[in-house]
Amino acid sequence: MSDHRQQNNFPPDSELESQPSKTRVKQEMHALQALGERLVELDPSRIAELDLPERLADALLEARKMTGHGARRRQLQFIGKLMRMVDPLPIQEKLDAWQHTGLRHTAWLHQLERWRDRLVSDEKMVTEFIQAYPDTDVHQLRTLLRNIEKEKLAGKPPKSFRMLFQLLRQIIPEVAG
């Protein structure tokens, strides 16, 4: 059988086993193209932070401008081809770090909203808040809470409600990690 393979120009068995399958190669190409699509969605400043080859960075910025479906699809395929020339691991790690930072920031904002809602709905929460954050200007906090009630009753825009959120942003630190 070995003679038959050599006659038909097939590589020896050891070479066949070391080559990735067509399916595997295709999956990797699609993964690189998908990564390229994620990069296209980034702000130009973020693209610049990735320190990509100039040709790839230009292709990403060009794709952001494209509106035609066919042209954009071809550009994304081109980006996928260019992605084969770079190591995708550092890019993926940077994207994951940015996403993690975004998730942490969102969680902090939700924490602020929960405190604001509790403070507005239950006056007993003021004492709990002051215990948790002793550097709070109690007078300013109580004034804002009174003004929120007045604005609600008068049907006015929630100016003090927004101001309370800003005050909470100053008091409650965003945990970096």
Per-position DSSP letters for 62-116, written without gaps between them: HHHH---HHHHHHHHHHHHHHHTTS-HHHHHHHHHHHHHHHHHHHHHHHHHHHHH
Parse the chain into domains and list their residue ranges: 2-86, 92-171
Mean pLDDT of the chain: 85
Alpha-carbon distances, residue 96 vs 37, 92, 165, 176 (angstroms): 15, 6, 29, 16
Fold of 92-171: Diphtheria Toxin Repressor; domain 2 (1.10.60)
CATH 1.10.60.30 fits 2-86, yes or no: yes
State the pTM of this model: 0.50
Of the listed ranges 18-27, 62-71, 91-100, the least confidently predicted one is 18-27
Using one digit for the tens of pLDDT, what is the confidence trace for 67-111?
888 998 999 889 988 988 888 888 888 888 888 877 888 888 899
Using one digit for the tens of pLDDT, what is the confidence trace for 37-61?
889 988 898 898 888 999 999 999 9
Of the listed ranges 20-29, 66-75, 151-160, the least confidently predicted one is 20-29
**Predicted pLDDT at 24:** 82
**Predicted pLDDT at 132:** 92
Give the integer Cα–Cα distance in Å for 164 and 175. 20
**Predicted pLDDT at 167:** 93
Q: Is the pLDDT of residue 169 over 60?
A: yes
Fold agreement (2-86, 92-171): yes
- 32-35-40-45 Cα dihedral, nearest 10 degrees: -120
